Chain A
């Protein structure tokens, strides 16, 4: 609830006519793990994200239950055994672009960025750094990144029997298509 309030606050600042903030409610976060035994792939196309181009601050929020898997059983195990989504329904990231000066938000183009911040999964918060790109387009901003996460860093318990089926490094893909908040 507290996080939601923060979101609404950020939104209302945006609505007050500040063209510095960009929003998407259909951002994409996917993860992929490959082992010779099994490929695991989960997609979430309902990530809420805000980007403030004046400070470079980024906030992502995702519902764990909004991850979709092709196999129903995999989705069930993900929610019940690993992520315990009834107990920890939301995951979030709050961070900042560290090289904001190298992005020209008034000129269309693709810029390399580094983002640093706190990632919270299952109420465990870790500092992460990821490389990505910011693409400035007419009427919006696209952001994307790819990095690795280890399930063990977030106290995700993987029993020995299935440990070999899940890669120790999950590949995480982030793709956001932001739209300006102001002027709605």
Chain B
């Protein structure tokens, strides 16, 4: 076999393998690890809710699809379907909270109503509450 044929075969095989690996990687891609992700915004639950209440359009533009790190007092903890957990953070509006969805939570000991916590997640918008998806608990060093 001529050298250039060998080289061509090698290149083609290499590209095919790389494509298969890339496809597999994309298919199995996990969600952004919120515990390590760098937040676009660090904000308190009270401020975040106020911004959405004052101007939903502006706040939506600013926050939706962004990673937020939100600190607030736990108003309620509810278990959802498929091991997920819903944690609501208190705001100054009695009807509207920051509603955070945490997928597959194993250790729920940190989630006690009334305590202050920090969560990081993607903002999905405003219904009655401001909603965050794919959240993770952030341990703050004292």
Contact = CB atoms under 8 A, between A and B. Distances in A.
Interface of A: 1, 4, 7-8, 11, 25-26, 28, 30, 43, 45-46, 48, 61-66, 68, 71-73, 75, 86, 89-90, 175, 184
B125 A89 contact: yes
B129 to A, nearest CB: 6
A62 to B, nearest CB: 8
Interface stretch (B1-9, B37-45, B80-88): B80-88
A54 B45 CA distance: 35
Given A25-B128, A89-B64, 11 more contacts: A26-B78, A26-B80, A26-B99, A28-B81, A45-B86, A62-B127, A66-B101, A68-B134, A71-B29, A72-B32, A73-B29
Interface string B71-115: 000000010111010101000001101010101000000000000
B95 A11 contact: yes
Contact of A8 (B26, B88, B95, B125): B95
Contact of B86 (A1, A26, A75): A26
Nearest to A8: B95
Contacts, number: 88
Contact of A46 (B28, B29, B94, B131): B131
A116 B96 CA distance: 29
Contacts of B142: none
Contact of B28 (A1, A65, A71, A90): A71
Contact of A4 (B31, B128, B133): B128
Interface of B: 26-32, 56, 60, 64-65, 78, 80-82, 84, 86, 88, 94-95, 97, 99, 101, 103, 122, 124-129, 131, 133-134
B26 to A, nearest CB: 6
24 contacts: A4-B128, A25-B88, A25-B99, A25-B127, A26-B80, A30-B82, A43-B81, A43-B82, A43-B84, A45-B80, A45-B81, A62-B127, A63-B127, A65-B124, A65-B125, A65-B131, A66-B125, A66-B131, A71-B28, A71-B29, A72-B32, A73-B29, A75-B31, A90-B125
B129 A25 contact: yes
A63 B131 contact: yes
